Structure 1
Amino acid sequence: MRRVLMSLLLGIAVVTPAALTLSPAAPQPARCGSGDALSWTLPGACQHVDEPPPGVDPTEPVSTAVLRARDGGTAGAYDAAEALGVPAPVQAAAASPAVTCEGDGASGYRTQAMYVVEAGRTNRFAALLPSFRLWAAGVDDVVNRSAALTGGVRKVRFVTDPDGGTCVAKVLNVTVPAGAMSSFNATIAAVQALGYTDPSRKYLMWTDATVLCGVASMYPDATDGQGNPNNGRYAQYARIDSGCWGFGDGAAQHSVEAHELLHTLGGVMSTAPHGTRAGHCWDESDTMCYADGGGFAMKQVCPAEREYLFDCNNDDYYSTYPDPGSWLDTHWNAADSRFLIGGGDGSGGGAPGTPSVLGATIAVNNPAVPGLSTQATLAPSLPAGRTVASVQWKSARADCVFASPAELQTAVTCNATAAAPTTVTATLKDSSGATKVVTSPLTFATGTARPVTVAFPAGTSAAVCTGAGFPLTARVLDTASGQPVKGLAVALTKQSATMTAPASAGAPVTTVEGTVILNQTAAVATTYRARTAAGTVYAAGGPAELVATPGRCATSLAAEIDRTTAFYGDPVTVTGRLTAAVPSGVTLAVRLTTAAGRVLPLGSAKTGADGRFSLVAKPTESGVVSVALAVSVSYAAASATAGTLTVVTPTTRITGAVDRSEVGYGQNVTVTGRLQRDAGGTLSALAGKPVSVYVAPAGGGAAVKIGGGTTNAEGRFTAVVPLKVSGTLSVTSAAAAGQPAASAAVGPVVAGTWTTALTATASASSVPAGGSVTLSGSVSRTYAAAGATAPSPASGLRLKVTFRATGSATSTVVGTPTTTAGGTFTLKVLPKGAGTWTVSLPAVAGYTAAEAAPLTIGIG
């Protein structure tokens, strides 16, 4: 059965009659969906009569025998839940009516099971009592197994009777007046008239009627906390008519009784992430989800086996460990109900639960002072066995920066001009690949007049190098906290003795360190000043003053190389430091002096703000590496030896292979291989290099080049060459700068001789004097050793055509046609007399001689 009814929820609002006095905390009349009106006995509650499951007509009577065969949530449901990995004791698979014994079985907040029948109808209580108890245990199983999904323990706190060392749900046998089953309201009024009005009870009623499937009352109030009206402020009722009793024993079924009881526990709120406006959910599969007309299309989010359990993904109405900061964490959660053992404060046989999915909470210290850092913290909730894989912080404001953007705790700083609220977002990924994104507002405190301190870190004076660039650095601090201020404009001016007024040097904005840096030059003594203007947060600051006095700077230089031996052209790093008054941006010459005294430039390096420099050079000769600074108006000369470098020539490695070792003369063979540089055992590809293919004749003599190729990015090459020489095939790479030649023998190859066959015909056997005749034919070739099974055309062969007159012993050559690509030939001749014409192929390299049968042509 695909789905068992769903019950309650949202019907219509109830206006409480004046005769009923509500406490100040009583809920206001609720806005409910369509449905039957409720009795005044349930102030502010809603109802929704649910659809029956497919194939079930709740108006049809059901026999006692059929009902006793229904097992509720027992063995089949146990198997389905086990397939989902939900832990449960083995005994839960048995068809046992046992439920948890708790206290005296009566005191406290409990579910009271009831059999309700109208007067005048057959009372089947005695026959069905074992089934009622079994179905109650099935409801308890749903509650507990659903709690296990999030690592917790929950049990239904039934009113119980002892049963031989265990407990069973106490089921009351209640008879109501005729007509009391006509509607849910009538049933509630009837049982209330009998005194069943205790707010500490959820009344779970098996009503022996054929009117509807299931219905229950719920207060549409999502307020978090134990004061929620669904948590014992009023008595609540669930009704299941006989046609829908005892379902839930299967993967795609759920217990109607569990569905209706959950409504009385306060689910599902329409404001839940997947709630409908009629009190259910739309993210299947789930005991509480179905298309109830509540305005949402159903979506299959969880597997069908999840139908037996509460709350697909544990995020709408039932979780012992809701994702911190989530909707369910901050709204009413049925798993917190004090009608459940383990609910309320989590005690009494319960457990607080553990994360089943990755969760996280975010905390940002608000409000932040614009320009100053404020703390942001991410607290992960990790399922068992998982660890944090990565964290990424970002803000909706581009000017906000994070001190530790990949850590759980960081500081965020936005510009001093920030005023409008923004957001901070953290993306958490765990070791399973799951991600969680959480966002927090970031607000700013403005309207103050915080004093700031503006200063030059170098002090009030600085020696600089004449005409050379130097970094003018100013810093702004929040006076009260001592923190650097980010995003505050600093007005810089400069003035020499010859200037009548200061000139602007720029107005940069402070970094997160509170600093501004401008590159300046000075040829004469110059006074620099820095100040900030008043804004919405900070008072005006400054001015600070610094006098820069130029002169030729004394220098010293230190340098070193990262290795003393390198292969030809391999990178060598030269590092060092220039010490001067202001060493930034100074160009240094790096060179190598050979043993013969030749000076080879390796490049130039530029110093950083701390005077350090680095250059990667690729030396091709051995020698002493040095670094030099030439004398100038700005700097005194300096030099340093970095070290002696020995450059070693690498070797060349070449390999080759040929696809065939024997072919007929002139046939192609494919030669492949690889060319690599060997630098002390470290191999690298030699790309774009020519490789030649040679054959050394078997009988001796100089090797013959038969073709070649070029290496690709991996150093591999392919050469398709015609083989016309027998002997030893080899591949060779010529020498290049820093790379010696290399050659490798591939192996013996044979260019075999073709066996030829020649045919010839004449266009006529007799011609008139002065007439012509056309000779034609073909030449074919075979080479058995090459595996040829049929002759092929022999092209490009020069033939010889001879004529011998009748009665003569002498032959005369009259033509030398060449065979076409198809192996054919033609020759037009002008016979002067009768005689014999012969076409022949003389023996040539790679081909045997052949001769066609003579052709006799007469003169008629």
Structure 2
Amino acid sequence: MRRSARIVIGAVAALGLIGAGIFAGTAFAGDRAVLPANEPAKGLVYDGLQRRAAGPCGPGLLEVKGTSPVMCTHGPDAPPAGLSVKSRVPALAAAPASAAAAVQSLAVCEGDSTSGRRVEVLYVHGSTSRYTQYLETFRSLAEGVDTIFNESAKETGGERHVRYVTETVNGACRPVVRDVQIADSALNANDWAPLLNAVKAAGYTRTDRKYLQFVDANVYCGIGGLAGDTRKSDANRSNTGPEYARADNGCWVAGVAAHELGHTLGAVNNNAPNASGFGHCTDEWDVMCYKDDPSVTVRTVCADRSHDDRLDCNHDDYYNTNPPAGSYLAQYYNVADNLFLIKGTGGGGNPQPDANLARSATPSASYTSPWESVAAINDGIDPPSSNDTVNPRWGTWPNSGQQWAELQWPSAQTLKRAQVYLFDDNQGIDVPSSWKLQYWTGSAYADVPGASGYPVTANAYITVTFTQVGTARLRVVLQSNGVSSVGLLEVKAFAA
């Protein structure tokens, strides 16, 4: 039997987790080229969506009409049993200030709370606001999503946390919840595009953000963007934003939020072994699995029903911190590698060879122009070009000559490879005449041994491999051409 509404709400109140794998209903008609009729009572609203075989979303995903750039989605999801799209989930009581720090917080927070790729939580409402009433609910649900991701990572010997925009509340690190008011007409439209466009007009358009929207409306249960990109690369479109995940007030539970956020992070690609073909999986129990088309057969592969609160039954479709060599996730995109997650260890407690260790370092530099930021060099943002006018940059104008930028870790790291993206704005910052990598030996800086070479290339990452070193500092030393200044957009460091 499906869980009752009383159990679902009680689980939320106890920070329990509800897996989106228990969604009821079907999301698509038998004819995959034609959208089904709306079922408003289930939140299955297809107005404003279209399928175009030749479009950017391909035949397996839907396109949200009226948004720019084009946004792809898996389509709307029906509510878990016991919840109703038309009935708002009750608010949690806020913990007393004296107890809040002890009982409510994120397990892991990172950096300065705002820089780099992060998930930002939005409460989106119209003329009526329940922000104060539901603030504790939204914080707790976001923390419940983080629990889903990390407990699932533990199943493959790893650790992953959602990198939220955070703040300190009563001494505890908690997700920030933005209060976003839009027009009632956009809030209640039977079409996602008006709300998306209103949220974008309010300024939530950062390329280093996934926006988790708790929407005070009764249109959908949940819906989320999905890139459908299978490339095993940091350049995968699931590693960038802006992207949006939406849960309406009848489905304000952690499992629905994790399901929709999971889509924005790259789950489930249609070439996965157990893919449904519509952005989900077919091997229950699993947060991302359910029967999303009459043609789809769902199998119970992970018999423990508690795995309905976890990601990726058998960890073979979209989430594995240590995928076996030759497996699907060793060759195609793996949500456990998503750059919006805080990466601890992979399998066996060792750093993953493809984990960018620079993200956990503290940056410093010989000099930084007052309008630039040395924090840009390891903020995790992949530049669109060497003349990046959108994202933060490190530059040294008007200084010339030799300049350096450095990454420093609290303890020694094993390093064997680095990637550097040079800054060139054609206005006084040029690529260097030469550059090199140095590491701290414990008493002095030395050139990394066995470097593969230091080409001077614009508009691309330059990869340098070298003989393995153990060090707590890695420095990029740049020599200007004697006239212009130099700079960097990003530095990455790897164990292998």
Counterpart selection for 1:152 from 158, 176, 185: 158
Match of 1:30 in 2: 57
8 Å contact 1:33–1:277 — kept in the other structure?
yes
In structure 2, the CA distance between the partners of 1:99 and 1:192, relative to structure 1 (3 Å rule), is farther
1:62–1:242 CA contact under 8 A, matched in 2: yes
Indicate the percent of aligned positions where both proteins have the same amino acid.
Answer: 37
Alignment partner of 1:352 is 2:378: no
- Partner letter of residue 68 of structure 1? L
Cα distance between partner residues in 1 of 2:338 and 2:113: 18
Higher strand share: 1
- Per-residue CA deviations over 1:27-52 (Å, capped at 9, x if unaligned) read x7121447673443242523310011
What is residue 226 of structure 1 aligned with on the other side? 234
Measure the CA separation in 2 of the matches of 1:141 and 1:269: 23
Q: How does the TM-score come out when normalised to structure 1? A: 0.33
Q: Are 2:200 and 1:192 equivalent residues in the alignment?
A: yes
Does the residue aligned with 2:347 lie in a helix, a strand or coil?
coil
Task: State the 1:238 CA deviation.
Answer: 0.4
> Which amino acid in 2 is paired with 1:67?
A
Counterpart in the other structure of 1:57: 84
- Indicate conservation of the 8 Å contact 1:29/1:43, yes or no: yes
Report the equivalent of 2:245: 238
Following superposition, the deviation at residue 224 of structure 1 comes to 1.0
What is the distance in 1 between the residues matched to 2:19 and 2:173?
28
Instruction: Verify the 8 A CA contact 1:116 1:176 in the aligned structure 2.
Output: yes
The structure-2 alpha-carbon separation of the partners of 1:146 and 1:39, relative to structure 1 and needing over 3 Å to count, comes to farther
Q: What root-mean-square deviation, in Å, do the aligned CA atoms of Structure 1 and Structure 2 show?
A: 2.8
Equivalent residue of 1:275, what SS?
coil
Counterpart residue number, 2:308? 307
Q: Deviations over 1:716-748 (max 9, x none)?
A: xxxxxxxxxxxxxxxxxxxxxxxxxxxxxxxxx
Distance across 1 between alignment mates of 2:185 and 2:220: 14
- Distance in 2 of aligned mates of 1:214 and 1:162: 29
Tell me the TM-score normalized by structure 2. 0.57
> Which residue identity lines up with residue 216 of structure 1 in the other structure?
G
Map of 1:68 onto structure 2: 92
Q: 1:317 to 1:141 in 2, by over 3 A?
A: same
Cα drift, residue 67 of structure 1: 2.9
Task: Decide whether the 8 Å contact of 1:150 with 1:353 is kept in 2.
Answer: yes
In the TM superposition, 1:109-128 aligns within 5 A as 109-118=117-126, 120=127, 122-128=128-134
Note closer, same or farther for the CA distance 1:95–1:306 as it changes in structure 2 (3 Å cut).
farther
Is residue 48 from structure 1 mapped to residue 75 from structure 2 by the alignment? yes
Q: Deviations over 1:512-558 (max 9, x none)?
A: xxxxxxxxxxxxxxxxxxxxxxxxxxxxxxxxxxxxxxxxxxxxxxx
Of structures 1 and 2, the one with the larger relative CO (CA 8 A, separation 6+) is 2
Within the candidate set 197, 205, 210, 2:213 is matched to 205
Partner of 1:266: 266
Alignment of 1:723-762 (within 5 A): none
Which of 178, 185, 192 is residue 179 of structure 1 equivalent to?
185
Secondary structure in structure 2 of the residue aligned to 1:68: coil
**Residue type at the aligned position of 1:339:** F
- 1: distance between equivalents of 2:211 and 2:104? 22
Gaps of 5+ in 2: 4-17, 33-48, 96-101, 350-496
Post-superposition CA distance 1:327-370 (Å, at most 9, x none):
1110010000110001xxxxxxx112249xxxxxxxxxxxxxxx
- Tell me if structure 1 keeps the 8 A contact 2:63–2:72: no
Partner residue, 2:381: none
Change (3 A) 1:279 1:288: same
Q: Superposed, which structure 2 residues align to 1:335-734 within 5 Å?
A: 335-342=336-343, 350-354=344-348
Where 1:187 maps in the other structure, the secondary structure is helix
Provide Cα deviations, 1:411-454, integer angstroms capped at 9, x if missing partner.
xxxxxxxxxxxxxxxxxxxxxxxxxxxxxxxxxxxxxxxxxxxx
Q: How far off its partner does 1:195 sit? A: 1.4
Indicate conservation of the 8 Å contact 1:97/1:135, yes or no: no
For residues 82 and 141 of structure 2, what CA distance do their matches in structure 1 show? Answer: 21
Mark the CA change 1:95 to 1:161 in structure 2 (over 3 Å): closer, same or farther.
Answer: same
2:149–2:160 CA contact under 8 A, matched in 1: yes
CA distance in 2, matches of 1:274, 1:14: 24
The structure whose residues are more often helix, as a share, is: 2
CA offset digits 1:368-421 (Å, max 9, x no partner): xxxxxxxxxxxxxxxxxxxxxxxxxxxxxxxxxxxxxxxxxxxxxxxxxxxxxx
What are the within-5 Å matches in structure 2 for residues 800-815 of structure 1?
A: none
The count of aligned residue pairs is 303
Amino acid at match of 1:62: R
2:282 maps to a residue whose letter is W
1:98-117 matches, cutoff 5 A: 98-117=106-125
C-alpha separation between the residues in 2 aligned to 1:35 and 1:332?
A: 20
On the 8 A contact 1:105/1:161 being kept in 2, the answer is yes
Counterpart amino acid of residue 217 in structure 2: A
Give the drift of 1:283: 0.3
Aligned residue for 2:173, secondary structure, equals: strand
Query: Once the 2 structures are TM-superposed, how far is the Cα of residue 54 of structure 1 from its aligned partner?
Result: 1.8
CA distance in 2, matches of 1:329, 1:295: 29
